[in-house]
Structure 1
């Protein structure tokens, strides 16, 4: 075999594909499966958003890759209301949801700083932080977290710091719901000349404090990443945005323009309507808080495990001992599908994540099946 015949990258199984056998167990119940494994919203978006989507008249032409001025101004207004910060629209840009941004940004940052080869990310985290590094041919280095769920930045070795291209933080965390110290992350990044990318997609569902953004601690050297998928039940539209450091935003805008990344015009118009309305978010917050409390109580009584409400997000995250056995038992007895914690890193291997995204009637169906 010559070098040119060497086997290259083989994609690993997609995490949720590993649940196929448990899906069949859950689906066997009268009333079918109740899928709590993926955080896909099931509640309706606001009518004004659907109206804007259908009446935008923006479907004919190519949309601006950076996002329309109307969208970027609505983002700036929202950040002003939510975080009390003033971000110029020149430092704001659209992305096609945020998963693609998380997965592709490392390769573009590598082109910007070819002498660095390492992506740092939380040890228990959304799997795409690691996969984005892998797809770019970079080192993916997990950073441990402390007892409060905050990244232990002091544990990063000198060699990893020198090689680091970027640091991902995620607050509220998917899957743990923990809130990180975003000010400390920003200071650390500036001290070591390492850009910090802060995934804040669950910030509207922060329970123990007000909503937080890394941009509240300055724009230099940091990028905040947001999505309308969770906030406004618009996962199908793929509308997200990033904002922060002027040089990094401008660089990514230009690279992404060349690559043809564009949020469709009608989706951008819907995004404006969603961002300008806070009332539907208040309603959704109340739904998720109620569901978190109901499912924590139901699963605690059924399993005997003490399950706490997270500091943020809409996931229950708890130590189930043998996570895969717990997943199988819940599918068999309750017809509900959840995610074993090793999907999110070896540090979560004993845990289970429960996404409380299904309508109340389906959650009550699970409780009834479990005899609660």
Structure 2
């Protein structure tokens, strides 16, 4: 009675983690470093704005985001990337970037590409929503390794012409979750050229774009503009969850060509969940304000430097350039995660839970992902325990 395409899905990462760890007692004070849930404080004026507009919970929200919010998004895109967009036709507010990343598949992926079942390419490791969106529309998800050999970004051209001719869309995350690798201008140019050659869309998950060490990550929209690419070729997704430490606000946006946004808006009008109006009011102010973002970024930079001091001696250590995670090399990620839990109480995530098994193996098997979302002292305590438990011999 249920669709067969969902019958063989692996369990989601965090139920798997609970099944692995929760049958064992923690070996110390529990320290949550498994999930990317920002813990830095957000500004008080957010609460004040919500209270000021609380009466607007009594009305249906504007589907695509009210003019104030879309204008703030337009202005932010210009300040951040130098890109000019029409707020009426090229942006739409989202209930978090996850909603948009999933619904992009529903709205944009065709039933057939060049007479065959469409393919959707994505990195491996990957955010599971990419896979589920593809499966939901009957497309074939293809997992392209994002390993140290490829600079922790996928080489989509490596899949070959036969697959590329069937490719309808590519999901790509930059800065990458979990590795923190950033696509530079050359990478984006090559991918956009490939998309132009084989006629597919790039769905760029840029939700970590405001957390970086020194150099801001290049955005897909600015490179596409400089190349003179078809404006429908690239679609960018952003979120306030990481940028502004508000994962519970569930607020983000999508930007792309007018036809793309029109299709996503149409789906939203039937099946989506528009942002409540008080949330839209807060979101507009957040996109217009940079002081809290700069302060937030500085806190992450301190923790990047801390991680380098504590763990930089480890063979294969990847010094984070962006994002909020460490991608730490181990012999077996699941065994290392269990050891951490039972010896120290630190709760990390096996890399294999973010990756797909392939004939060549699981590219996350030899890693654990560690979220550096707590304050400095809590992060220091957790990283010290990780060092002493997993890397005492290095």
TM-score by length of 2: 0.85
Counterpart pick for 1:192 among 195, 198, 201: 198
Please give the residue correspondences for 1:136-155 in structure 2 after superposition, counting only pairs within 5 Å: 136-145=137-146, 146-155=149-158
The offset of 1:320, in angstroms, is: 1.0
User: Deviations for 1:216-251, whole angstroms, at most 9, x for unmatched residues?
Assistant: 022341101101000001110110110011211111
Deviation of the 1:171 alpha carbon: 0.7
Task: Give 1:183's match in structure 2, choosing from 186, 189, 203.
Answer: 189
Among 325, 328, 344, which residue is 2:335 paired with? 325
1:257-268 correspondence to structure 2 within 5 Å:
257-268=269-280
Aligned to 1:100: 99
Structure 1, residues 146-184: CA drift from partner, whole Å, max 9, x if none? Answer: 531232122122222222121111110001111122222
**Compared CA separation, residues 190 and 111, structure 1 to 2 (3 A):** closer
Q: Give the match's secondary structure for 1:310.
A: coil
- Name the structure 2 match of 1:79: 77
How far apart, CA to CA, are the structure 1 residues paired with 2:50 and 2:78?
24
Q: Which runs of 5+ in 2 are unaligned?
A: 226-230, 356-361, 389-394
SS of the residue aligned with 1:155? Answer: helix
1:166 aligned to 2:169?
A: yes
Tell me the equivalent position of 1:214.
Answer: 220
Identify the residue that residue 90 of structure 2 maps to in structure 1.
91
1:213 CA displacement: 0.9
Give the 3 Å change call, closer, same or farther, for CA 80–329 of structure 1 in structure 2: same
Tell me the distance in 1 between the aligned counterparts of 2:2 and 2:264: 34
1:22 matched to which residue of 2?
21
TM-score, normalized by length of structure 1? 0.90
Q: Tell me how far apart the structure 2 counterparts of residues 333 and 298 of structure 1 sit (CA, whole Å).
A: 19
Two-structure CA RMSD over aligned residues (Å): 2.4
Q: Is the 8 A contact 1:200 1:225 kept in 2?
A: yes
Change over 3 Å in CA distance of 1:300–1:310 after alignment to 2? closer
SS where residue 311 of structure 1 aligns? coil
Paired residue secondary structure (1:71):
helix
Q: Distance in 1 between matches of 2:180 and 2:233?
A: 25
Alignment-derived partner of residue 392 in structure 2: none
Once the two structures are superposed, residues 290-320 of structure 1 have per-residue CA deviations (whole angstroms, 9 ceiling, x without a partner) of 123323433457xx54533222211111321
Change in Cα spacing, 1:5 to 1:60, as seen in structure 2 (3 Å) is closer
- Which of 34, 39, 44 pairs up with 2:41? 44
What number of residue pairs does the alignment pair up? 365
